């Protein structure tokens, strides 16, 4: 019996009597070795959900950040971290196990990858992994969405609104709005209430400026604690939010300045005296406006240029011929 008891003790030391338990323990030991020696090991900084304990508000743990898929449209990696580990910045005595605490991470959690100073959101946990927490993570935008004073960092993929699909029929041309943007954010009552289908919302872009998008679909049950939202690009009309009196003032100012006023998707033309070796150009264009110079025709002493407005965005630009400013153009949304 002594031999069996010794064997039982050895099995318990290596993870337990079931073979699966020992496999789980072996995988966890392999991960902890990798956290010390792997090139892809890093440090995670995550918020402490329990403000009453003695641990710091920002807890640090070792983790693995393995590359999964990185393109211009998406930045996805694979996170591996023990369910329980030593909190690196927690107060503890020597090399004892007092610093081992649960790692407060789940789907929807946002943490900072310390070595790169970037934030990442957990989007999908591999629940078949019993040895440690393993999940897909996506890189967050540097600027958060603020709802009632609370900051939500989110990941956004797609957003190829520069690709426009044109349709032509009966000498008319139009384009379809893109549905390429998908957003991943923590799911709770606040975000569920904010993102509703067909709602117009404002989201920060990569520079922190608020842009307007239209919610097309919401997937609240796709994964645990992660809300997935699909958007359609939306062009806001800056003249819609002003009163009739202010619109009249704006119109009067344009008339005094002799501005050329047109509507999105219009085809416009300008004529001036022909100058050899001079060319037409567009200057001081509002960001986001897309304008094509279709053709320039010389007719006697004059030259005429034809321009096509390619999207719905409102804005302004100047038309130059050589070094001379021909016209200031104001584009209104449809």
Residues 6 or more apart from 216 whose CB is under 8 A from it? 179, 197, 198, 230, 231, 232
Asked if 105 and 133 touch (Cβ cutoff 8 Å), the reply is yes
pLDDT, residue 198, reads 87
CB 61 within 8 A of CB 88: yes
* Helix (H/G/I), strand (E/B), else coil: 86: strand
Could you give the count of Cα atoms lying within 13 Å of 28 in the half-sphere of its Cβ?
A: 16
Long-range contacts at 207-214 (CB < 8 A, ≥ 24 apart): 207/143, 208/142, 208/143, 212/236, 213/181
pLDDT in tens, the chain (334 residues): 566 566 666 656 565 656 777 788 889 889 999 999 899 999 999 999 887 677 888 999 999 999 887 766 668 899 999 999 998 888 765 444 566 889 999 999 999 999 999 999 999 999 999 999 999 999 999 999 999 889 999 998 875 555 566 677 776 666 666 667 889 999 999 999 999 988 889 888 888 888 888 898 898 776 778 999 988 877 665 545 555 666 666 666 766 667 888 888 888 888 899 988 888 899 998 887 888 887 788 888 889 888 888 877 888 899 999 888 888 988 887 6
The number of beta carbons lying within 10 Å of the beta carbon of residue 202 is 12
Give the three-class secondary structure for 219.
strand
Question: 3-class SS at 243?
Answer: coil
The gap between the terminal CA atoms of the chain, to the nearest Å, is 88
All domains of the chain in start order, with CATH: 2-140 (no CATH), 157-167+176-233 (no CATH), 244-332 (2.60.40.10)
Determine whether 276 is exposed, middle or buried from the number of CB atoms within 10 Å of its CB (0-12, 13-18, 19+): exposed
CA–CA distance, 283 with 265 (Å, rounded to integer): 19
DSSP string across 252-321: HHHHHTT-EEEETT-EEEEEEE--TT--EEEESPPTT--EEEEEEEEETTEEEEEEEE-SS--EEEEEEE
CA 202 to chain centre: 13
- What are the contacts of 89-98 at 24+ separation with CB within 8 A? 89/56, 89/58, 89/59, 89/60, 90/54, 90/55, 90/56, 90/59, 91/54
Question: How many Å apart are CA 157 and CA 68, to the nearest integer?
Answer: 15
Distance of CA 11 to the CA centre of its chain: 48
In three-state secondary structure terms, 3 is: helix
Integer angstrom CA distances of residue 43 from 85, 139, 288: 12, 15, 39
Alpha carbon distances (Å) from 9 to 1, 26, 27, 54, 206: 12, 16, 20, 35, 56
pTM of the complete model: 0.63
Give the integer Cα–Cα distance in Å for 266 and 236.
17
**DSSP code of residue 158:** -
Query: CA angle 127-133-134, nearest 5°?
Result: 70
């Amino acid at each position: 019996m002594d031999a069996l008891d010794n064997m039982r003790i050895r099995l318990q030391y290596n993870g337990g009597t079931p073979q699966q338990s020992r496999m789980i323990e072996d995988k966890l030991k392999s991960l902890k070795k990798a956290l010390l020696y792997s090139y892809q090991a890093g440090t995670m900084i995550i918020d402490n959900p329990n403000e009453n304990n003695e641990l710091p508000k920002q807890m640090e743990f070792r983790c693995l950040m393995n590359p999964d898929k990185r393109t211009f449209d998406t930045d996805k990696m694979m996170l591996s971290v023990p369910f329980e580990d030593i909190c690196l910045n927690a107060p503890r005595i020597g090399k004892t196990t007092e610093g081992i605490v649960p790692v407060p991470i789940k789907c929807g959690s946002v943490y900072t990858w310390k070595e790169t100073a970037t934030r990442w959101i957990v989007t999908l946990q591999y629940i078949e992994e019993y040895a440690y927490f393993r999940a897909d993570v996506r890189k967050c935008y540097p600027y958060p969405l603020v709802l009632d004073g609370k900051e939500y960092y989110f990941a956004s993929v797609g957003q190829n609104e520069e690709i426009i699909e044109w349709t032509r029929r009966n000498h008319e041309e139009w384009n379809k709005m893109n549905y390429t943007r998908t957003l991943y954010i923590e799911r709770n009552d606040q975000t569920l209430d904010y993102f509703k289908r067909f709602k117009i919302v404002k989201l920060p872009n990569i520079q922190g400026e608020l842009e307007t998008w239209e919610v097309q679909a919401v997937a609240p049950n796709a994964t645990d604690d992660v809300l997935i939202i699909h958007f359609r690009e939306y062009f806001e009309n800056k003249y819609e939010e002003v009163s009739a009196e202010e619109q009249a003032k704006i119109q009067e100012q344009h008339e005094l300045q002799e501005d050329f006023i047109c509507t999105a998707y219009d085809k416009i033309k300008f004529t001036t005296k022909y100058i050899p070796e001079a060319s037409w150009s567009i200057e001081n264009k509002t960001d986001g406006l897309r304008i094509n110079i279709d053709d320039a025709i010389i007719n006697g002493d004059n030259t005429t240029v034809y321009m096509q407005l390619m999207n719905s965005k409102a804005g302004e630009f100047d038309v130059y011929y050589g070094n001379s400013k021909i016209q200031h153009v104001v584009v209104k949304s449809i």
